[in-house]
């Protein structure tokens, strides 16, 4: 004897009368699980025979779809933010000017039509509820679109907010990479960052409303990354994204690097990645903006203000040297390598002098010396103007050249060389004291090595 399957009405009557012949809690849990499972199903538009939930869809969803097709049921053209709502009792609101995107509609959806600027529905035809109401309200509408509620989500929100972020970028502001100081930081200010973060939070809340648990736990508060659109304005948006990925990957590797070899390897891999992404012309534009050479060069400029073309050529020359002999290169070590490096350094200095001219080259060198010299603190302590302090560099550089000539003189004995070097140091101390005062000169000798090393024999 087979048991007859109970109807839902019979189950309710037995449960309400307190005479259930089944486990009510287990049945409710089973039904809830079935309901959740059914919500995830995507039934075909036409069913022939019995519906098989496990049968593959005739046209599976392609997440890369760029254009959706449907049936136009109410005329008009409108552009706006898509508001995806999956059920009428959802805690959601359509804002004025937004386009309602729904899986279907019935009379319970009517309040959502009032502020909407347009309607997109997964299923339906000319006489379906959404079509009729859209025509009554004069709203442009397309139905039978298929996977609209699944495809019009994150990508559209991201594109919209990216456009709003870019709209907040300073108009017609160029990235002046050749000027002294942190030029990237100069592209933004506190108000700009605050407004960008507000947009990021607004975007996060919208995605959380649309996607629920699929949304990230926290908003992405890195709006400054959009500044790279201005920094990398020489290439396409696709390549900008790729370069940014390489930058972030390299940053992680540099942080994890434990020694100079690891750093050199990370930099070499970064160069390889960039060379595969960018053309040779684009790679040079990257180098003058974001390479370690360019950033280091910019940090050493001090008060020296090169023209854009001068800076570009200075970076080109310096990067040739850095790639072959710099601290991030994988050049060989040893006395021969040191000699080659010293020769290359002199060639670099000569080329830079020819580029800038003698007077501007002297200014450039003085600014570089100033940034790391003990004379800088002495000047601050004794209120010595920078222009006056630069005269000390001229004196010590001339003294260093004279000392090198003495050390290289094969006709002098060590005793003769030492006497000559002592004289050079004494003369230099007197000259420096005459420029900045004897007390400041003593502080400079004590705090630095430029004068102390003058009478070093070897």
Give yes or no for residue 218 having a pLDDT over 70: no
Kindly state whether residues 225 and 239 are assigned to the same domain: no
Give yes or no for residue 19 having a pLDDT over 80: no
Range of the structural domain that residue 93 is part of: 71-152
Model pLDDT for residues 289-306, shown as the tens digit of each residue: 999 899 888 888 888 999
199 vs 282, residue with greater confidence: 282
C-alpha span between 454 and 439 (Å, rounded): 20
Kindly state whether residues 14 and 80 are assigned to the same domain: no
Residue 125 in any domain: the answer is yes
Alpha-carbon torsion, ordered 327, 333, 337, 341, to 10 deg? 10
Model pLDDT for residues 322-342, shown as the tens digit of each residue: 988 876 665 556 668 888 888
Give yes or no for residue 213 having a pLDDT over 50: no
Q: Quick one: what percent of the chain has pLDDT higher than 70?
A: 79
How many other C-beta atoms can be found within 10 angstroms of the C-beta atom of residue 310?
17
Kindly state whether residues 237 and 178 are assigned to the same domain: no
Kindly state whether residues 333 and 238 are assigned to the same domain: yes
The per-residue pLDDT for 207 is 64
99 phi and psi, to 5 degrees?
-105, 120
Q: Which residues contact 336 (CB under 8 A, 6 or more apart)?
A: none
Eight-class DSSP state of 25: H
Domain boundary among 229, 258, 292: 229
CATH code of the domain containing 104: 3.50.30.10
Token pair listed for 109: 């959806």
C-alpha span between 188 and 193 (Å, rounded): 7
According to DSSP, the β-strands at 99-102 and 118-121 are parallel
Token pair listed for 444: 């400079």
Model pLDDT for residues 272-292, shown as the tens digit of each residue: 999 999 999 999 999 999 998
The per-residue pLDDT for 429 is 93
Residue 47 in any domain: the answer is no
118 vs 46, residue with greater confidence: 118
The per-residue pLDDT for 1 is 41
Structural domain tally of the chain? Answer: 5
Residue 258 in any domain: the answer is yes
Kindly state whether residues 301 and 344 are assigned to the same domain: yes
The per-residue pLDDT for 223 is 47
The per-residue pLDDT for 182 is 61
Model pLDDT for residues 365-413, shown as the tens digit of each residue: 888 888 778 898 999 999 999 889 899 998 999 999 999 999 999 999 9
Give yes or no for residue 84 having a pLDDT over 80: yes
Are 70 and 142 contacting, i.e. CB atoms less than 8 angstroms apart? yes
Domain boundary among 152, 167, 202: 152
The per-residue pLDDT for 278 is 94
Give yes or no for residue 190 having a pLDDT over 80: no
Residue 238 in any domain: the answer is yes
Domain boundary among 229, 258, 281: 229
> What mean pLDDT is predicted for residues 131-138?
93
Q: Which residues contact 55 (CB under 8 A, 6 or more apart)?
A: none
Task: Please report, for residues 105, 127, 197, 251, the alpha-carbon distance to residue 220 in angstroms, rounded to integers and kept in the order given.
Answer: 34, 43, 8, 19
Kindly state whether residues 258 and 315 are assigned to the same domain: yes
Residue 340 in any domain: the answer is yes
Residue 49 in any domain: the answer is no
The per-residue pLDDT for 214 is 47
Beta bridge partners of 118: 99
Q: Is 99 helix (H, G, I), strand (E, B) or coil?
A: strand
Question: pLDDT averaged over the chain?
Answer: 82
Model pLDDT for residues 171-188, shown as the tens digit of each residue: 666 788 898 876 665 666
C-alpha span between 248 and 254 (Å, rounded): 10
Give yes or no for residue 267 having a pLDDT over 70: yes
Residue 56 in any domain: the answer is no
Task: Please report, for residues 5, 12, the alpha-carbon distance to residue 2 in angstroms, rounded to integers and kept in the order given.
Answer: 9, 22
Kindly state whether residues 295 and 262 are assigned to the same domain: yes
Kindly state whether residues 256 and 361 are assigned to the same domain: yes
Eight-class DSSP state of 439: H
Residue 454 in any domain: the answer is no
C-alpha span between 116 and 85 (Å, rounded): 12
Give yes or no for residue 119 having a pLDDT over 90: yes
pLDDT band at 5 (very low <50, low <70, confident <90, very high): low
111 vs 151, residue with greater confidence: 111
Beta bridge partners of 141: 74, 119
Are 83 and 95 contacting, i.e. CB atoms less than 8 angstroms apart? yes
192 phi and psi, to 5 degrees?
-60, -45
Question: pTM of the full predicted structure?
Answer: 0.57
Q: Is 364 helix (H, G, I), strand (E, B) or coil?
A: helix
**Strands, E, within 64-210: which ranges?**
71-74, 82-84, 99-102, 118-121, 141-143
The per-residue pLDDT for 318 is 94
CB neighbour burial string for 124-144, b if at least 16 within 10 angstroms, e if fewer:
beeebbbbbbbeeeebbbbbb
Token pair listed for 170: 């300073």
pLDDT band at 169 (very low <50, low <70, confident <90, very high): low
């Amino acid at each position: 004897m087979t048991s007859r399957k109970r109807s839902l009405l019979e189950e309710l009557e037995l449960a309400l009368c307190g005479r259930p012949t089944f486990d009510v809690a287990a049945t409710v849990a089973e039904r809830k699980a079935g309901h959740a499972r059914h919500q995830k199903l995507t039934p075909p538009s036409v069913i022939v025979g019995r519906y098989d939930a496990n049968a593959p869809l005739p046209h599976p969803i392609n997440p890369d779809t760029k254009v959706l097709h449907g049936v136009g049921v109410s005329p008009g053209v409108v552009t706006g933010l898509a508001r995806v709502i999956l059920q009428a009792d959802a805690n959601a609101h359509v804002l004025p000017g937004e386009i309602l995107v729904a899986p279907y509609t019935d009379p319970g959806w009517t309040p959502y039509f009032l502020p909407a600027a347009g309607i997109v529905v997964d299923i339906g035809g000319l006489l379906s509820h959404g079509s009729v109401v859209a025509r009554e309200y004069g709203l442009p509408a397309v139905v039978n679109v298929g996977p609209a509620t699944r495809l019009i989500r994150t990508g559209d929100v991201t594109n919209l907010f990216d456009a709003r972020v870019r709209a907040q970028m300073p108009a017609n502001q160029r990235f002046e990479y050749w000027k002294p100081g942190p030029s990237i930081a100069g592209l933004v200010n506190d108000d700009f960052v605050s407004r960008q973060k507000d947009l990021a939070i607004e975007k996060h809340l919208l995605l959380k409303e649309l996607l629920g648990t699929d949304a990230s736990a926290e908003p992405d508060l890195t709006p400054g990354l959009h500044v790279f659109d201005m920094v990398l304005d020489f290439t396409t948006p696709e390549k900008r994204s790729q370069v940014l990925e390489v930058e972030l990957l390299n940053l992680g590797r540099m942080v994890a690097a434990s020694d100079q070899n690891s750093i050199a390897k990370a930099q070499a891999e970064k160069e390889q990645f960039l060379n595969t992404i960018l053309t040779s012309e684009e790679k040079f534009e990257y180098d003058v903006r974001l390479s370690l050479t360019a950033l280091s060069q910019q940090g050493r400029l001090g008060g020296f203000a090169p023209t854009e073309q001068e800076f570009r050529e200075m970076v080109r020359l310096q990067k040739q040297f850095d790639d072959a002999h710099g601290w991030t290169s994988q050049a060989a070590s040893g006395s021969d390598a040191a000699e080659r490096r010293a020769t290359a350094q002199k060639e670099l200095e000569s080329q830079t002098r020819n580029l800038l001219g003698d007077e501007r080259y002297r200014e450039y060198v003085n600014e570089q010396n100033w940034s790391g010299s003990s004379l800088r603190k002495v000047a601050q302590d004794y209120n010595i103007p920078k222009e006056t302090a630069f005269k000390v560099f001229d004196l010590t550089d001339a003294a260093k050249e004279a000392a090198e000539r003495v050390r290289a003189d094969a006709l002098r004995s060590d005793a003769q060389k030492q006497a000559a070097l002592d004289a050079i140091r004494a003369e230099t101390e007197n000259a420096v004291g005459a420029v900045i005062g004897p007390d400041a000169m003593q502080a400079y000798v004590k705090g630095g090595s430029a004068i102390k090393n003058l009478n070093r024999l070897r």
